[in-house]
Amino acid sequence: MFLMDRISDLPDTLLLRVLSLLPSAKDVVATMVLSKRWEFLWLSVPRLVFDDQDIETYAAQDIIVWMRAANNFTVDEMIIEIDSSSCASPVILPKFLYTECTMLVTLKLNSVILADFSSPIDDNVTLFTVRVPSLKRLVLHTSENRDRDDSDGFVINAPCLEYFNIIDHKGGFCVIENDMPNVVEAYVDVTHSHPRMILGSITSVKRLYLCLSNSKDLYPDDTLFHRLVHLTLCTCETEWLNLLVSMLRDSPSLRALKLEQYHGLPAHHLRASWNEPSSVPVCLLSSLETLEWVNYEGTEEEKEVVGFMFRNGSCLKKVAISSKSNDCNKKLEMIKELTWSIRRSPTCQLAFD
């Protein structure tokens, strides 16, 4: 008790700092029973984390209580991570969470049910709207158990966003109401027929992962990703080579490129076709230093892509290729072909696994 009294005598600023380091909101709120000195102290903590790992202990109502209380006091950062994909019953979240909270900084939602969201224009269109001016990190993963519906979509207004992660293989569109000029890292894995608005609003991105089923109308004309230095492209879709050409052309500062098949190929997968660009992208002549290719198969199209990179990559320092095949003879043939490829950069080193 003597020790607790000594702790209670510390200034509020120091106690709040201690509370902000606790791992979850549950731990923070639990301190209110220590003494009258602590009863309302948690309401002024500047950082509150809700952790759903022990989901049976919580309910959506708990989040509402904490958020509304925090919104009336001095919380300046709230992190909420909800993953209902492993729960027996889905978590239903209130609209307040993603439209009214003024201090929410990080929002991660995986397979949750969001209450009261629909289109005011068309009853057949379902919209999930995120309008949080303070939001800096947004992660949206739709449930794989849902049926695909092209009338389902997202509307996002988060002008301060710095990290954006969206995986949506079931919806039809994503509308960005305002540009997001502060985004430095993005992960975009969608089957939307028109991803134009997503990519057009994150041109400030420095690190970007892309897996898109459509390579047409990717972003507005004259769009340039001036700050993009690290690009990862998934090679599972038929259109990925067209996407590669577009991104190389419009990323003049690109330094690192990674190609990898992250998803399984569909049963009737059509092989991608390679159309060599009529002009060499600026990044190949002035900035691209590394090329990493995971699950390389050595198809004619893939060999043409690597050859194009070797012939035009003035600044290439390292090309690392790992084969998808376990056939030793096939891998040896790949090594021979790659080794004898003409290289524009005299310092380019080839690593093959």
The DSSP-derived string for 117-173 is: ---SS-TT-EEEEEE-TT--EEEEE--TTSPP-TTEEEEEE-TT--EEEEEESS--E
Higher per-residue pLDDT: 172 or 138 = 138
With 90 as the cut, is the pLDDT of residue 339 above it?
Answer: no
Domain membership of residue 330 (yes or no) is yes
Mean pLDDT for the stretch of residues 226-232: 97
Using the CB atoms, write b or e for 234-266: b if 16+ within 10 Å.
bbbbbbbbbbbbbbbbbbbbbbbbbbbbeeeee
Measured from the Cβ of residue 45, the count of other Cβ atoms closer than 10 Å reads: 25
Task: Categorize the per-residue pLDDT at 212 as very low, low, confident or very high, splitting at 50, 70 and 90.
Answer: confident
With 50 as the cut, is the pLDDT of residue 311 above it?
Answer: yes
Which stretch of 5-19, 80-94, 230-244, 277-291 has the lowest confidence by average pLDDT?
A: 80-94
Domain membership of residue 31 (yes or no) is no
Domain membership of residue 339 (yes or no) is yes
Measured from the Cβ of residue 92, the count of other Cβ atoms closer than 10 Å reads: 12
The DSSP call for residue 35 is: -
How far is the C-alpha of 133 from the C-alpha of 105, rounded, in Å?
Answer: 9
Task: Categorize the per-residue pLDDT at 14 as very low, low, confident or very high, splitting at 50, 70 and 90.
Answer: confident
Q: Residue holding tokens 């904490």? A: 66
Mean pLDDT of the chain: 79
pLDDT at 320: 94
With 90 as the cut, is the pLDDT of residue 57 above it?
Answer: no
What is the CA angle 63-109-168, rounded to 5? Answer: 160
Mean pLDDT for the stretch of residues 238-253: 92
Mean pLDDT for the stretch of residues 336-347: 87
Domain range holding 327?
Answer: 289-353
Q: In this structure, are residues 52 and 91 in contact, taking their beta carbons and an 8 Å threshold?
A: yes
CA-based R_g, the chain, Å = 25
Mean pLDDT for the stretch of residues 28-51: 71
Domain membership of residue 69 (yes or no) is no
Domain membership of residue 303 (yes or no) is yes
With 80 as the cut, is the pLDDT of residue 52 above it?
Answer: no
pLDDT at 119: 46
Reported as type and span, the H/E element at residue 47 is strand 47-51
Domain membership of residue 324 (yes or no) is yes
With 80 as the cut, is the pLDDT of residue 1 above it?
Answer: no
Which stretch of 137-141, 263-267, 295-299 has the lowest confidence by average pLDDT?
A: 263-267
pLDDT at 123: 47
345: Cα within 13 Å, side-chain hemisphere: 24
Domain membership of residue 307 (yes or no) is yes
With 60 as the cut, is the pLDDT of residue 59 above it?
Answer: no
How far is the C-alpha of 249 from the C-alpha of 232, rounded, in Å?
Answer: 15
Domains: count for the chain: 1
Question: Position 136: which residue type?
Answer: K
Q: In this structure, are residues 158 and 138 in contact, taking their beta carbons and an 8 Å threshold?
A: yes
Domain membership of residue 326 (yes or no) is yes
